[in-house]
Amino acid sequence: MVMRFYNTLGRKLEEFKPIKDKEVGMYTCGPTVYYYPHIGNLRAYVFADTLKRALTYNGFKVKHVMNITDVGHLTSDADTGEDKMEAAKKRERKSAWEIAKFYENAFLEDLNHLNLIKPDVLPRATEHIREQIDLVKEIEKNGFAYQTEDGIYFDTSKIPDYGKLALLKIEDLKAGARIEMVEGKRNPTDFALWKFSPKNEKRDMEWEFDLEKDGEKIKIMGFPGWHIECSAMSMKYLGKTFDIHTGGVDHIPIHHTNEIAQSEAAKGVGPAHFWMHNEFLIMKDGKMSKSKGEIVTLQDLMKKGYDPMDYKYLLLASHYRKQLSFTFEALDNAKNTMQRLRNIVLEIKSEDTSKVNEEYKKKFLEAINDDLGTPEALAVMWEMLRDSNLTNEEKYSTLLDFDKVLGLRLKEIKEEKVEVPDEVMKLVNEREDARANKDWAKADELRGKIKEFGYQLNDTADGVKISKE
């Protein structure tokens, strides 16, 4: 079946065709590990993971690369401000290396909690300095870079259609209204490929770069710009052009625009055929941002008694290209829906016979393959579960098949062990006797009494199941 995705490059739905038959190379901009990821960041990774699962479900073999930004991302996405890692080090009185390790682990834990399949490669920027320096030199050699007092900059005026991804109007930018100009930059959109370390400060993370200054060969300490890491590492692990690049919409105007410019300058081609971007998760008072402080983490939600799958359901119930406004009310709804789903799973749970209902599978695929329509896919799932023409075995197998894409851990749902007090057990047994005698009125009355104790009964083919309300 054909898969269609919305390509930011060109702003239209396009049929997906990989470069290599049945193999997909996919790159996702990963976390900047100077703090905990917030639940908005996690939307970006849930989106990428669902996309990867959908591709796999369609029979593609996906190689997924996600970088770890542990150096070079400044507090402004332009080239001003402090390196986020160095700023965190002052805040926490740890070394930048310790900060990176700590928050990378926190990030990996969240991936686990959310049942996201670990990317095949998770390269750290600091472990690919050689590749980044080589790429900077290649761009320089091809005539797209220049030196300033502060670093090596990319000359964006050399790329005639520089703003094509973001539909930037270069003329407006030249007017300079919104862009801070770093001294020595030739054009407002030029960006740092490599920054020199400040003269009066010893950074934790810095490396030697040899260059020519005033006709003399010198070595100078510095660190990579943020965009070059993604170009260098995607090229290393996926080749100069691959199939899909993902990230949040905030990356369109600067980070991804600059990745394209770097690839074109070095290799003459853009890095990816498809650029796919998730919209933001927003809080009541605007977008959630790590740098603004006020954030909600997955741990916060878990401490409040939510299961990570509740949050994931909330995300899947909304299309990735729509802004999603986060409220605890909406999360409570998702939690209730997940509880309903769990109860149904317990009811229909049987041996997975792999007897998938082909009609519903087709509908599910249609939804998923139409630009990752997860809300429609969930609607198909509920329709299937409600369909009385399907046996429980068929429902269960079809549901587990859908969960290959949804990733809601439905196979792991187990009967929660409930401690049932003797007096309730006595009523349950009395009710079983009443049912055996076809005394339905008495059975109903006893069900009511049991409910008063806070227990719920579910009559299944395997007998009565007792759960807490």
Residues contributing to the site for ligand AMP (CB under 6 A): 29, 31-32, 40-41, 43-44, 69, 247-248, 250-251, 278, 280-281, 287-288, 290
Torsion angle (degrees, nearest 10) of CA 166, 324, 247, 365: -110
- Three-state DSSP state, 192: strand
170 vs 41, 193, 254, 256, CA distance in Å? 29, 20, 13, 16
Q: Shortest gap between Cβ of 352 and ligand AMP (angstroms)?
A: 34
The reply to whether 230 sits near Zn ion by the rule CB under 5 A is yes
Q: Of the listed pieces 23-31, 124-132, 161-169, 324-332, which binds Zn ion according to CB under 5 A? A: 23-31
Residue 278 or 374 with smaller CB distance to ligand AMP: 278
| Exposed e or buried b per residue across 79-90, where buried means at least 16 C-beta atoms within 10 angstroms of its C-beta | beeebbbbbbbe
Asked if 70 and 126 touch (Cβ cutoff 8 Å), the reply is yes
Q: Shortest gap between Cβ of 19 and ligand AMP (angstroms)?
A: 23
C-alpha angle with apex 224: 218 to 33, nearest 5 degrees? 145
- Give the Cα separation of 351 and 334 in Å (integer): 27
Number of C-beta neighbours around residue 180 at 10 A? 12
* Cβ neighbourhood burial of 422 (10 Å; 0-12, 13-18, 19+): exposed
Q: Shortest gap between Cβ of 278 and Zn ion (angstroms)?
A: 14
DSSP letters, 32-44, are BTTSPPPHHHHHH
- Three-state DSSP state, 300: helix
41 binds, among ligand AMP, Zn ion, none (CB under 5 to 8 A by kind): ligand AMP
Q: Shortest gap between Cβ of 226 and ligand AMP (angstroms)?
A: 9
Residue 25 or 247 with smaller CB distance to ligand AMP: 247
Could you say which residues in the range 29-88 bind Zn ion, by CB under 5 A? Answer: 29
Residue 233 or 381 with smaller CB distance to ligand AMP: 233
Residue 72 or 247 with smaller CB distance to ligand AMP: 247
Q: Shortest gap between Cβ of 400 and ligand AMP (angstroms)?
A: 29
Residue 106 or 302 with smaller CB distance to ligand AMP: 106
Residue 117's closest CA among 452, 414, 407? 407
Residue 243 or 347 with smaller CB distance to Zn ion: 243
Q: Shortest gap between Cβ of 259 and Zn ion (angstroms)?
A: 6
287 binds, among Zn ion, ligand AMP, none (CB under 5 to 8 A by kind): ligand AMP
Q: Shortest gap between Cβ of 257 and ligand AMP (angstroms)?
A: 13
230 binds, among ligand AMP, Zn ion, none (CB under 5 to 8 A by kind): Zn ion
- Give the Cα separation of 229 and 232 in Å (integer): 5
129 binds, among Zn ion, ligand AMP, none (CB under 5 to 8 A by kind): none
383 vs 361, 364, 365, 379, 403, CA distance in Å? 12, 10, 14, 6, 15
Q: Give the footprint of Zn ion on this chain (CB under 5 A).
A: 29, 230
